[in-house]
Structures are given as C-alpha cells and as structure tokens.
C-alpha cells in the first residue's frame, strides 16, 4: 500500500519532516510515495497572476526534482484527495500541518472525507503557531516577549534529506498553465532558493542590520517568496545563522524571522484578523468613501500620488511583484493615514500583485501600520513620505529607478519635485494631498475616538 505526500506550502525535498514520515511509511510497507499537488480552485480564484505564475514555475522545479513524478490533480481537495487515495489504495496521506485559516478548514474537511489517516508532521514555521503562550496561558499580544519565548523554546535541527525516495508513477492532470504576467519573476524552486540564501550569507548578511532599510541597495535576503512557498524552511535559515559568529546583523535577521512567526501566531489565535481589524482606531466616518476614495486609491495603486517615494514603491510592485519592506510601510501608512482609505483595500491590492503574498504576513503587517493589530505601531505614528525617502534613499537612486519622469532630477531633490519651480518635470503629477494637513486629520480622527 503506497502513501500520499500532499505538497502545499512545502515545495522542497530538503528539511521536510512530512516527506521523511511518508518515506518511512512507504518503506515499512515496501511500497512507494505518491507526490501530490492539488490545484485548488478556491485558492486559484483569489490568487493574483504574478503569484500563480511563480507557483507554476515552482511546481515545475518540484516535478523535475521528483523525476517527473509530481501528480497534479485539479479540484476541491475534499474530493480530489480521497479519490486519489482510493485510486492508488493508499494507506495514509502525509502533510505539513496547515496553520492559516483556510488551510485548517480545508484539512478538516479532507480528514472527514478520508478513510485513512491524514498525518500532520511539522509546520511551515520554526515554532508552530499556537504552541507558545504566556505564563498565564494566554496568547502573546506583544512581540518582544513572544520573541523571548520563541528563542527560549528553540526549534529542531533541519530534517535530513532522504537519499532516495521511491516515487510512484501515477496519472497526472499535468502542470497548470502559467498565467500571463508582465511582472519580472525571480527564479523559482528549491535550488534557486538555496542559491539566493547562500549569496546573501556571503555577500549581504554582514551589512544587514543597516542595509535592510535602504531600498536603493540590495540589502535584504529577498527570501520572502521562497519562504511563502516553502522552497526552504526557516529552520534551515536559523541553523545557518547559528553557525555564524554572533553579530548585530545575525540577531536582526533572526528577529525578522521571529516577526514572521509572531504574525502567524496572531492569525492562529485570531483567524478573523485576515479581514477584520483587531481593534478600531478611528470612527467609521473617518474613512474616505465613494468616488473620492476610488480616485485616491487609483492614484496610489498606479504610483501617481505626487510623492516620489510612495510612487516608486507602487511602481516597483507592479513591475516585480515585490516591494522593499521599508517602502511597504511607507506606502501603507500613506494610504491609511494620508488618503484615509481602509487598510483592507490596500491589503487586497498587495495580494493581487505580490509574488510573496502571504495572508498572515500581508494582513498583519497592514494591521501593524494601520495601528489595528497586535503590538502594532500606534495610530498616531504617521510616516512622512518625504523624510522617509530622504533618510532611506538619500541620493534618490531608488526613486529615479522606478519613476522615470524624475530621472533628470539630481540627488535628494528628487523627493520634493514640487519645490523645483519651473525646473519641475511637466509629466510628473503634483501631490494629491498635503501630508501635513492629512496627518492632522488622522490624529484628530484618532482623538475623536478617544485615542
């Protein structure tokens, strides 16, 4: 009797505990492992073209890694998985445990429909969401004590990669068609992920503590998409960091991984946070609505707000399906607190374009900026799009790269083109709002609600 290994957010063969469990189960029965991926229409419908195009490429790499034995089936998992189990006479279905709200509901439905065990081994995180609680037995509300508990708890060493896997040969529906997209996608697959990580360890880690805030530099690891699809596991990264001499940059990178796990933990305990604010911060009448909100949102989404640092970020998103983290915070703050548009609308736009779009990270980071989440930035913290640009893009190189209308403006003057008078470019828009004015409006709204 073979076993099924159902791939989801774990498109790799190394450091894969569920794969090891499947191989052990198959060998105990002197049988094979069926490598399954389900093209779930419920997820396909809500995923942007950039993310789907990347996913197809990652699946192609996984298919090659399994010797062409990846079995792709299309349909609702609660129907597809039991059908495949009956077709091959499988003894069990092995998975990496799902932690996000939809995945948990999906797996419960599949488990009810199966006549064999659904075996959950491992999670996409170093410490599974929901495992850590305060001394009082309640979920963590603040990041710093969560990080301390996370570090104290620790994590397993990376799982060894099996030398050989007895992959079964089973009919497949074939890889999904890759949707058309103009987004410049990064290289996909487990090998590409490890290649990027090795390059960062050698060339980027030492300067990470300060360079990570500079969008004009290649100062981040750019691993978010690889982590999203599980092309490598954070446990692998943490093991490699532990092998390095202790430094501020190593500690900072480890903390960034902890933030990722904190957001997953928050969503585990509060699944509604994917769509609802965890706490209100302003009265309902503070939000822009109707044609005004639509026009402001369109200017923001298309990168024509008249604020160069914001516009550069939004255009980078459209071109690459990715945006530097510092810029993500600035453009999110601008939408919520300068344009007074609800965070959910911005989060939806990000999920439509981001290649690394990941529900716990995207939604909870938006709530952090909006001041509505757990351990969020206070609502009265309003990012100034000009001073942020001047501080983190001091020579204006990032803006000039993504806003071609301003390539003739030298130095930091690029962050305030409206001050150039007759030398201001004719084809770049004037600011859609006055930041100082809208900041006061945001703070007044906050205080109106008793903030």
Q: Rounded to whole angstroms, how far apart are CA atoms 55 and 17?
A: 22
- 210 a catalytic residue: no
The full length of the chain comes to 451
Give me the catalytic one of 366, 368, 384, 402. Answer: 366
Long-range contacts of 127-134 (CB under 8 A, 24+ apart): 127/153, 127/155, 127/261, 128/97, 128/99, 129/99, 129/261, 129/264, 129/265, 129/267, 129/268, 130/99, 130/265, 130/268, 130/269, 132/265
Q: Which tokens belong to 127?
A: 């410490």
Q: What are the backbone dihedrals phi and psi of residue 5, each rounded to the nearest 5 degrees, phi first?
A: -110, 110
* β-strand pairing of 71-74 with 118-120: unpaired
Q: Which tokens belong to 381?
A: 């913290």
- Residue 292: helix, strand or coil by DSSP? helix
Give me the catalytic one of 155, 287, 405, 438. Answer: 287
Exposed (0-12), middle (13-18) or buried (19+): which is 340, by Cβ within 10 Å?
A: buried
Give me the catalytic one of 111, 155, 178, 256. Answer: 256
Close Cβ partners of 437 (under 8 Å, ≥ 6 residues apart): none
Give me the catalytic one of 111, 155, 178, 325. Answer: 325
Close Cβ partners of 352 (under 8 Å, ≥ 6 residues apart): 48
Strand ordering across the sheet containing 3-7: 71-74, 33-39, 3-7, 93-95, 118-120
- 366 a catalytic residue: yes
Contact 121, 97 (CB under 8 A): yes
Q: Rounded to whole angstroms, how far apart are CA atoms 333 and 202?
A: 34
Contact 433, 338 (CB under 8 A): yes
- 259 a catalytic residue: yes
Per the listing, tokens 């501020």 go with 248
Q: Which sign, positive or negative, has the C-alpha torsion 188, 191, 193, 198?
A: negative
Give me the catalytic one of 150, 322, 343, 353. Answer: 343
Catalytic residues, by residue number, are 256, 259, 287, 325, 343, 366
């Amino acid at each position: 009797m073979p076993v099924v290994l159902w791939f989801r957010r774990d498109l790799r063969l190394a450091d894969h505990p569920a794969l090891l469990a499947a191989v052990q189960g198959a060998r105990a029965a002197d049988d094979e492992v069926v490598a399954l991926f389900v093209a779930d229409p419920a997820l396909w419908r809500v995923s942007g073209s950039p993310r789907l195009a990347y996913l197809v490429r990652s699946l192609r790499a996984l298919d090659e890694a399994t010797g062409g034995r990846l079995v792709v089936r299309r349909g609702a998992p609660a129907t597809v998985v039991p059908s495949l189990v009956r077709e091959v006479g499988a003894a069990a279905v092995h998975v990496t445990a799902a932690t996000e709200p939809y995945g948990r509901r999906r797996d419960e439905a599949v488990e009810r429909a199966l006549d064999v065990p659904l075996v959950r081994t491992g999670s996409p995180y170093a410490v599974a969401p929901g495992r850590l609680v305060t001394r009082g037995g309640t979920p963590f509300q603040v990041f710093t004590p969560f990080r301390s508990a996370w570090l104290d708890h620790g994590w397993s060493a990376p799982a060894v990669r099996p030398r050989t896997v007895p992959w079964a040969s089973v009919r497949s529906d074939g890889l999904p068609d890759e949707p058309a997209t103009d987004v410049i996608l990064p290289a996909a697959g487990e090998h590409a992920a490890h290649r990027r990580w090795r390059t960062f360890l050698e060339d980027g880690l030492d300067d990470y503590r300060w360079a990570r805030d500079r969008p004009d530099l290649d100062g981040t690891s750019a691993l978010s998409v690889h982590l999203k699809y599980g092309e490598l596991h954070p446990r692998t990264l943490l093991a490699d960091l532990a092998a390095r001499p202790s430094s501020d940059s190593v500690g900072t990178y480890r903390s960034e991984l902890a933030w990722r796990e904190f957001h997953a933990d928050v969503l585990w305990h509060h699944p509604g946070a994917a769509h609802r604010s965890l706490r209100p911060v302003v009265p309902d009448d503070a939000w822009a609505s109707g044609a005004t909100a639509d026009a402001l949102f369109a200017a923001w989404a298309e990168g024509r707000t008249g604020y160069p640092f914001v516009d550069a970020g939004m255009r980078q998103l459209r071109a690459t399906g990715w945006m530097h983290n510092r810029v993500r915070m600035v453009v999110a703050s601008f939408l919520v607190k300068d344009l007074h548009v609800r965070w959910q609308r911005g989060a939806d736009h990000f999920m439509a374009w981001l290649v690394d779009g990941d529900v716990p990270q995207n939604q909870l980071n938006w709530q952090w900026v909006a001041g509505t989440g757990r351990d969020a930035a206070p609502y009265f913290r309003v990012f100034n799009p000009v001073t942020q640009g001047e501080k983190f893009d001091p020579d204006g190189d990032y803006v000039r790269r993504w806003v071609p209308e301003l390539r003739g403006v030298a130095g930091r003057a690029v962050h305030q083109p409206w001050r150039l008078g007759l030398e201001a470019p004719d084809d770049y828009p004037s600011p859609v709002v006055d930041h100082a004015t809208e900041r006061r409006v945001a703070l007044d709204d906050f205080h109106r609600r008793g903030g």
